Structure 1
Amino acid sequence: MVYVLGIDGGGTKTVCLLIDETGNILSRGQAGSSNYQTGGIDSAKNAIETAINQAISIFLDHKNYNNILIQGLGIGLAGVGRKEDFNVIQNLVEQVKTNSNLSINWELTTNSTVIKSDSMIALVGGLGHQVGIVAIAGTGSQIFGQNSQGKTKRVGGWGYLLGDEGSGYYIAISGLKAALKSHDGRLGSTQLISAFKHHLNLDNLESLIEVVYRRGWTVSQIANLAKIVDEVARKGDEIANQIINTAIEELVFATKIAIDSLFEPNESVEIVTIGGVFQGMNNFRLKFIESLNQIAPTARLILPRYEPAYGAGILALNALGYFPVNTGLDETQTDPSTNLLN
């Protein structure tokens, strides 16, 4: 049997899947954040090793083996986008391979070590193949796509300070700003004021200063307040609904740019929606679909078929010459193994 590891290293958790050449998931491990941009390289390495060790240990215990031969590794990490990032992660992988506590015999080559961004493995995992678009709206947001020639396009994903329009953070911070403007008299009346006060147990809205600034709230903590904006919008609040609709418009616009950049006007395009904003907010995904279909009628929206870590594993298998799922790439124009390592 050929065994590969698929790793999804996110800002919240790290998932490792052990997969065989037929695409079967054999075991799973999980650890904390492995975003080295925010937590540092040592923390990322520890999280990755913990997730790997958990997945491998479960499999070995079940099979009563002493160790396992790993021939392929697919890894997608949050914050990986530039050439320097890939070099850093390549060095990290080399360090992981020297960890004697992992019951692994490594047989990795340059080709079978596939390092990608988290958006690429989300695309492959979500679609089950490599051609289409992933629309991500969670704490942050990003649109990412690839066509059958292997050309990719990213729209957004610039982080909470510079972008992330349509994300949970964007919705939450827009709601907080709207509440404060309304409190000042710079905006009309909105139920957001009372909703935030109740949720945060505030005597007055001025106390938001202490909550947001002095407590040092993280981006994720602020993004969690998007659900308050959603609840108020559901009650018919005009200002809250404007915020939600603007978030949808931003994501639709970004998705249309990706479609136009990668696909022909009449070409059918699969788009997978991923993230807590699409999953947890009232009618958000439905409104996104309705709005997108008006300007991109060939788009077909789907729910994720697999998780991102599985996408990473599939990329590793493809690099070894195994294709348990259809890649969707035009193999007459693009060498899949070469494409995966771009």
Structure 2
Amino acid sequence: MPAVLGIDGGGTKTVCLLSDTTGRVLGRGEAGASNYQSVGGEAAYRSILESIREATKGHAVTVTGIALGLAGIGRPEDEAVVRDWVELLQNDDRISIAWALRLKGVCVCHDCAIALAGGLGREVGIATIAGTGSIVYGRNRFGQTARSSGWGYVLGDEGSGYDMARQGLQAVVRAFDGRSQPTALSEAFRSQLGLQEMRDLVELVYRRGWTPKDIAALAPIVDKIASQGDRIAEEIVDRSASELALATKTVAAQLFEGIEPFEIVTVGGLWHGTSALRQRFDRLVTDALPAASLVWPRHEPAYGAVLTALRALGKR
């Protein structure tokens, strides 16, 4: 039976979906991270391989199309690396499926593109992604694309979980010094992290080598305290909403005319908090972009990769 593979590869995990040529999902596989910028090429290839093995287990299929939406794929040389992996996969005896790929049946793109395709069920619109990092990506009906933010935790990622948590930690140490007013974030972080005193943050953050992901994991605390009415935490959430709205409006201005209707899909864990981040974002965006509609994701990014592969093969 002819089939396609859709792969969503990120810095935490890799998801592969096996689908028939009508878009019906037949199998699913998960493995480790496949952002080769952070885990290296060998580990990334192994994660992709394992996710395909798990998704295709027990299925007698011939793969005619494959789409890989991977974090860290932003340059032509990155795409070339992944296309080499596809060649290797077809000759890897650890995968027990048949291959019948043609050039047009191999799609390599960054993970934002499949988040948009999966979130909306089509490729036209905007995806505003807010998780550990943040980025806004859009595509119009002419095939033109644009992006904003997504420069990583050092240069950008404003409105991300990392950015929100970092601001929360900074607010706590400023309050401890007396440089700003007290905030309920202090006790919340102290309890969550088991701190004897606030100076213990130095040992946690610096000496234990916390990663951006470790810091971003504290964003739900800021969200929770903001929902309880703490002014400092609310200001952080407001800034996050403003930064995400600014990036979204920047992309929209490049792709869509003022009266042309389009959808904005909000993707990522930060949107599911209790602080009304999404409602704040909605107000800022829809006031500026009256033709836009805000929606929740209709499908996961891996299914967006499936749709991308099917479209490349000429399937509706």
Question: Same fold per TM (> 0.5)?
Answer: yes
Q: CA deviation at 1:220?
A: 1.3
Does residue 307 (structure 1) correspond to residue 293 (structure 2)? The answer is: no
Question: After superposition, where does 1:10-21 map in structure 2 within 5 Å?
Answer: 10-21=10-21
Match of 1:253 among 246, 251, 257: 246
Moved over 3 A (4+): none
Paired with 1:53 and 1:282, the residues of 2 have a C-alpha distance of 40
Q: CA deviation at 1:282?
A: 2.7
The match for 2:163 is 170
Q: Quick one: which amino acid aligns to residue 275 of structure 1?
A: G
When normalised by structure 2's length, the TM-score is 0.98
Paired with 2:122 and 2:229, the residues of 1 have a C-alpha distance of 40
Does residue 223 (structure 1) correspond to residue 216 (structure 2)? The answer is: yes
Does residue 40 (structure 1) correspond to residue 33 (structure 2)? The answer is: no
Does residue 70 (structure 1) correspond to residue 45 (structure 2)? The answer is: no
Paired with 1:218 and 1:12, the residues of 2 have a C-alpha distance of 13
The match for 1:3 is 3
Question: After superposition, where does 1:146-295 map in structure 2 within 5 Å?
Answer: 146-295=139-288
The match for 2:129 is 136
Does residue 96 (structure 1) correspond to residue 89 (structure 2)? The answer is: yes
Paired with 1:37 and 1:281, the residues of 2 have a C-alpha distance of 33
Q: CA deviation at 1:281?
A: 4.1
Paired with 2:2 and 2:274, the residues of 1 have a C-alpha distance of 41
Paired with 2:57 and 2:72, the residues of 1 have a C-alpha distance of 28
Paired with 1:98 and 1:274, the residues of 2 have a C-alpha distance of 35
Q: Quick one: which amino acid aligns to residue 39 of structure 1?
A: V
- SS in structure 1 of the partner of residue 80 of structure 2: helix
The match for 2:50 is 50
- Change in Cα spacing, 1:33 to 1:281, as seen in structure 2 (3 Å) is farther
- SS in structure 1 of the partner of residue 115 of structure 2: helix
For structure 1, the residue ranges without an aligned partner over 5 or more in a row are: 324-342
For structure 2, the residue ranges without an aligned partner over 5 or more in a row are: none
Question: After superposition, where does 1:101-112 map in structure 2 within 5 Å?
Answer: 101-112=94-105
Count of residue correspondences: 316
The match for 1:326 is none
Q: CA deviation at 1:235?
A: 1.9
Q: State, as a whole percentage, how many aligned pairs show the same letter.
A: 48
Q: Quick one: which amino acid aligns to residue 285 of structure 1?
A: R
Deviations 1:275-295 (A, max 9, x none): 010123431112211221111
Q: CA deviation at 1:2?
A: 2.6
Deviations 1:287-335 (A, max 9, x none): 2112211111111011111111111111111111111xxxxxxxxxxxx
Q: Quick one: which amino acid aligns to residue 79 of structure 1?
A: G
Paired with 1:185 and 1:280, the residues of 2 have a C-alpha distance of 29
The match for 1:334 is none
- SS in structure 1 of the partner of residue 242 of structure 2: helix
- Change in Cα spacing, 1:281 to 1:144, as seen in structure 2 (3 Å) is farther
Q: Quick one: which amino acid aligns to residue 120 of structure 2?
A: L
Query: RMSD of the alignment, in Å?
Result: 1.0
Paired with 1:133 and 1:234, the residues of 2 have a C-alpha distance of 27
Paired with 1:180 and 1:254, the residues of 2 have a C-alpha distance of 29
- SS in structure 2 of the partner of residue 5 of structure 1: strand
- SS in structure 1 of the partner of residue 5 of structure 2: strand
- SS in structure 1 of the partner of residue 210 of structure 2: coil
Moved more, 216-225 or 115-124: 216-225
Paired with 1:247 and 1:204, the residues of 2 have a C-alpha distance of 28
Q: Quick one: which amino acid aligns to residue 21 of structure 2?
A: E
Paired with 1:216 and 1:95, the residues of 2 have a C-alpha distance of 36
When normalised by structure 1's length, the TM-score is 0.90
Q: Quick one: which amino acid aligns to residue 302 of structure 2?
A: A
Does residue 296 (structure 1) correspond to residue 289 (structure 2)? The answer is: yes
- SS in structure 1 of the partner of residue 199 of structure 2: helix
Paired with 2:102 and 2:85, the residues of 1 have a C-alpha distance of 15
Paired with 2:6 and 2:107, the residues of 1 have a C-alpha distance of 9
Q: Tell me, yes or no, if the aligned pair for 2:124 and 2:139 is still in contact at 8 Å.
A: yes
The match for 1:338 is none
Paired with 1:90 and 1:281, the residues of 2 have a C-alpha distance of 42
